């Protein structure tokens, strides 16, 4: 029986194995290229979206500035035509909600609203450096009476603490005005510490940082207070007070009339306002109040030595019929971009100045 031995030729199988390895390498390269291509595509899409968002944001910003420029021209024309007398019967105030909305070509809208920054209590008026002792106590008295009318459930300690702490927040030193106040050390000792500004308020929401100003207190005060940038003046336009501002007029007049009587006096105001404070005294309620003695509500806190009720000034000293400070609230919706802007303006017959711009919810 013949046996034939057959030797396997391993060299014949090597090309097949090498071809398999090469195929795997090709597939691996293709997979890597696909991954890189997907990543590049995602980055490209992200860059395109980022560019679109940037363009929409820039366009919305310029629509805001356009609305601001129109408002500046409108307000200056109004001031020039009325010799500075501002009231709610003028174009800037009497527009309906529909008239305040302006469509944008290609889709979108611009909604605007103008408010008088002299139709509220300027929180910066409590900054003491430029005030006499009598003026300073007058401001604190008015603010205290406003808080008491707006938040009637606060006790005397809470009222005095808010007033004195607000004054301390504004003044430039680290010394408390009284035992009711608060300075930097009080805020630095909080669980989430911060420092007192020791300068003007920038926005009325900053009041929320002052000691004992809780969220309910702030929300109750919000309709009555505002911030005029870098100004410690308190000149409230009686022509632009709304029906909800009875407590404010009551406080400004140092309690010479009740909040309800103040509301009634506002409701009796002519549609075109008063031409002067003397003209306002034709109102029977205000005329009667002008002959009464002021009764400031200090909550038991004595007046400082040398300061009398008479020295605090007259009940109409802080009321005017002219306004120079306004706030423009602009809501821009452009494509998928939404922008809320706030501009604070100074307007006179000679010039208009943008005092501050802010973006976000008011």
pLDDT digits (tens, 9 = 90+) for 9-28: 555 555 556 666 777 887 88
Residues 156 and 305 in one domain: yes
Total structural domains within the chain: 2
Separation between Cα atoms, residue 187 and residue 279, nearest integer Å: 47
Residues 98 and 203 in one domain: no
Its domain, for residue 240, covers: 121-320
Instruction: Based on the fold, state whether residues 66 and 157 are members of the same structural domain.
Output: no
Same domain, 191 and 210: yes
Please, what are the averages of pLDDT over each run of 10 residues along the chain (362 residues)? 52 59 80 84 78 81 93 94 93 83 86 95 92 87 92 91 94 80 87 91 94 95 96 95 94 88 94 93 86 56 62 83 96 88 95 91 64
Tell me the C-alpha distance between 350 and 345, whole Å.
13
Same domain, 80 and 223: no
**Does the residue 257 lie in any domain?**
yes
Do 313 and 339 belong together in one domain? no
Report if residue 16 sits inside a domain: no
Q: Is residue 333 part of a domain?
A: yes
Residue 151 resides in a domain: yes
Give the domain CATH number at 68. 3.30.1300.30
User: Pseudo-torsion of CA 311, 315, 318, 321, nearest 10°?
Assistant: -150
Strand ranges of the sheet holding 109-116, from the earlier edge strand across to the other edge: 101-103, 109-116, 325-334, 337-347, 352-359
Alpha-carbon distance 173 to 211, whole Å? 17
Predicted pLDDT at 299: 47
| One domain, residues 130 and 192 | yes
Please check whether residues 104 and 130 belong to one and the same domain.
Answer: no
What sign has the CA pseudo-torsion 206, 210, 216, 222? negative
312 with 260, same domain: the answer is yes
Could you report the per-residue pLDDT of 26-75, keeping only the tens digit for each?
Answer: 788 888 888 888 888 878 778 777 777 778 888 889 999 999 999 999 99
9 part of a folded domain: no
Is 113 in the same domain as 126? no
* Whether 146 and 263 share a structural domain: yes
pLDDT of residue 245: 96
């Amino acid at each position: 029986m013949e046996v034939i031995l057959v030797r396997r030729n391993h060299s014949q199988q090597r090309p097949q194995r090498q071809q398999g390895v090469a195929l795997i390498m090709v597939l691996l390269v293709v997979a890597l290229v696909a991954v890189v291509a997907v990543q590049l595509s995602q980055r490209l899409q992200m860059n395109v979206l980022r560019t679109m968002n940037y363009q929409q944001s820039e366009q919305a910003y310029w629509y805001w500035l356009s609305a601001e420029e129109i408002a500046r021209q409108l307000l200056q024309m109004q001031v020039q035509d009325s010799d500075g007398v501002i009231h709610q019967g003028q174009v800037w105030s009497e527009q309906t909600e529909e008239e305040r909305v302006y469509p944008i070509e290609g889709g979108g809208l611009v909604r605007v609203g103008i408010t008088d920054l002299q139709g509220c209590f300027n929180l910066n008026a409590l900054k003491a450096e430029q005030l006499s002792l009598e003026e300073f106590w007058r401001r604190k008295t008015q603010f205290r009476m406003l808080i008491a009318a707006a938040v009637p459930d606060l006790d005397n300690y809470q009222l005095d603490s808010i007033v004195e702490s607000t004054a301390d927040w504004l003044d430039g030193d680290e010394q408390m005005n009284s035992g009711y106040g608060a300075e930097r050390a009080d805020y630095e000792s909080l669980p989430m510490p911060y420092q007192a500004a020791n300068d003007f308020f920038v926005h009325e929401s900053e009041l929320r940082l002052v000691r004992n100003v809780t969220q309910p207190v702030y929300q109750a005060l919000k309709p009555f207070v505002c911030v005029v940038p870098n100004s410690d003046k308190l000149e409230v336009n009686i022509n632009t007070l709304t029906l909800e501002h009875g407590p404010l007029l009551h406080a400004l007049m140092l309690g010479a009339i009740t909040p309800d009587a103040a509301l009634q006096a506002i409701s009796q105001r002519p549609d075109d306002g008063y031409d002067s404070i003397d003209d306002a005294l034709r109102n029977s309620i205000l005329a009667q109040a002008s002959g009464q003695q002021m009764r400031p509500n200090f909550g038991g806190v004595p007046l400082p030595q040398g300061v009398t009720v008479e020295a605090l000034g007259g009940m109409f000293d802080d009321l005017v019929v002219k306004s120079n400070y306004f706030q423009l609230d602009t809501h821009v919706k452009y494509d998928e971009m939404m922008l809320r802007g706030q501009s604070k303006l100074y307007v006179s017959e000679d010039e208009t100045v943008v005092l501050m711009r802010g973006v976000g919810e008011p």
